[in-house]
Chains A and B, each alone.
Chain A
């Protein structure tokens, strides 16, 4: 073999190995998670775990129901979506279609900066500004609430939603726009009736990815939501999320205890939900490409 062929042989194998490695790592992580998590179900039923209303991991015997945590996560996430998705899509349209070029560049830079702020820092800022603000505005005993978490998470999801939606809007073929304008549609009518349809798969994918980001976020939520593991009845009360539970309790759980396995089982639940969100996002992204 010539030196070139040998080199190509090795490069090819190396690339192949890197590809395989990433699959193996994912598989290993999942197997590990499953092994540790499933151990829990030797002592407690799946229904009692997912549907249990009380999370008292260090009482005796421990109560390991994660319903309050699931509802906490869902509530905070839903609040964040309700804020971030409409705002993000509107911003994306503004940046892609309305803003003059200089303002557009400035806005895009701002959004990049926002996405670069580490979540602990954001959480910290939220703790000293937003928490007292919410407490004062609503006149409630504590500002550590689900709503505070939703607002912080919305800030974190915005950059993802805006930049991916903007890409989707920009990749709508110019001929649609020309066609609408040539029919006498105004700029706004063109946006609302044509461009948004062309960009829709990408916008949905952007929203799903934003939601995924929010759902898996830990630090900021832990710092501002109050972490009370009770079934939430309103946005203005402290909640605890799945992620915050793992982060807060992993250090103190006794290795090999039910509590320890329960945290891994929470990990599996998180993994499955996040995975489902990402797959949905991919589905929409690919549908957008095919057309």
Chain B
């Protein structure tokens, strides 16, 4: 099967500091790919390269290519970025629902992309909230501010926003690090279900989490993607000594 996302010879500099070094990566469609590695190794940076959110940071320079469905996203014009970011959605570490009602949070994407007219919107909101198991909890609170939800509900809502906009790729940067263990397991459960429809790339510090949810894992160290392969292989028989040291807890 061909790759959904193909990263080739990707280098990134923040000013003079090189944060990504010759990264090659192929993410398969409708799989969960985990990126692990110690703090500061460039996981978030790599993730942000996939929807060009790094463009927003001053002094960033990038070489190499990122292809999504064969299209090199670094050749896209600025006016095409909304289309890219609609296709490739991002879930942030700290849940960041807008200071709007639950309904408007979910409806935000479809509205700005003119995907649904007024009548279709209700159905789309319901469908999206159902997809993240929030509908039963929130169906009577659609007009309440999303800022009053629990952290777990907020994170689910943020995922629902992407479901509503019909994203194809979900980038998740430590989506559970603000959540308690029970909520974490529930979000992982959700990710497993979403895998049927989405290609998911998740950055995590939690190696058990990577092992639990992902099919493929990449290990990063100081800006390099040291090793990439099937998750069971990475965790049971890593080829690189540095990967082995990391997953057995010898450093990092």
Interface size of A by CB at 8 A reads 18
A260 to B116, CA, bound (A): 67
Supposing A194-B98, A197-B98 touch, asked if A185 and B92 sit within 8 A by C-beta, the answer is no
Instruction: Please tell me if the beta carbons of A183 and B161 are within 8 angstroms of each other in the complex.
Output: yes
Interface size of B by CB at 8 A reads 28
A68 to B158, CA, bound (A): 55
Contacts of B111 in A (CB 8 A): 193
A185 to B56, CA, bound (A): 14
> Which of A38-46, A172-180, A238-246 faces chain B?
A172-180
Secondary structure dominating the interface of B? helix
Instruction: Please tell me if the beta carbons of A183 and B92 are within 8 angstroms of each other in the complex.
Output: no
Contacts of A182 in B (CB 8 A): 51, 53, 85, 89-90, 92
Query: B21: CB under 8 A from chain A?
Result: no
Query: A100: CB under 8 A from chain B?
Result: no
Supposing A178-B53, A291-B147 touch, asked if A183 and B96 sit within 8 A by C-beta, the answer is no
Query: B70: CB under 8 A from chain A?
Result: no
Contacts of B162 in A (CB 8 A): 183
Query: A198: CB under 8 A from chain B?
Result: yes
Instruction: Please tell me if the beta carbons of A194 and B85 are within 8 angstroms of each other in the complex.
Output: no
Contacts of A183 in B (CB 8 A): 85-86, 89, 108-109, 112, 161-162, 165
A181 to B98, CA, bound (A): 12
Query: B230: CB under 8 A from chain A?
Result: no
Instruction: Please tell me if the beta carbons of B85 and A178 are within 8 angstroms of each other in the complex.
Output: no
A173 to B92, CA, bound (A): 14
Nearest to A192 among chain B residues (CB) is: B112
Contacts of B109 in A (CB 8 A): 183-185
B57, chain A: closest CB distance, angstroms: 11
Query: B84: CB under 8 A from chain A?
Result: yes
Among B51, B90, B99, B162, the most chain A Cβ lie within 10 Å of the Cβ of B99
A92, chain B: closest CB distance, angstroms: 18
Contacts of A179 in B (CB 8 A): 92, 96-98, 158, 161
Among B89, B90, B96, B100, the most chain A Cβ lie within 10 Å of the Cβ of B96
Interface 0/1 of B156-192, CB less than 8 Å to A = 0010011001000000000000000000000000000
Contacts of B100 in A (CB 8 A): 193-194, 197
Query: A109: CB under 8 A from chain B?
Result: no
Query: B94: CB under 8 A from chain A?
Result: yes
Instruction: Please tell me if the beta carbons of B85 and A184 are within 8 angstroms of each other in the complex.
Output: yes
Contacts of B98 in A (CB 8 A): 176, 179-180, 193-194, 197-198
Sample 29 A-B pairs with CB under 8 A, ordered by A number: A176-B96, A176-B98, A178-B53, A179-B96, A179-B97, A179-B98, A179-B158, A179-B161, A180-B98, A182-B51, A182-B53, A182-B89, A182-B92, A183-B89, A184-B81, A184-B83, A184-B84, A184-B112, A185-B112, A186-B112, A193-B108, A193-B111, A194-B98, A194-B99, A194-B100, A194-B108, A197-B100, A198-B99, A291-B99
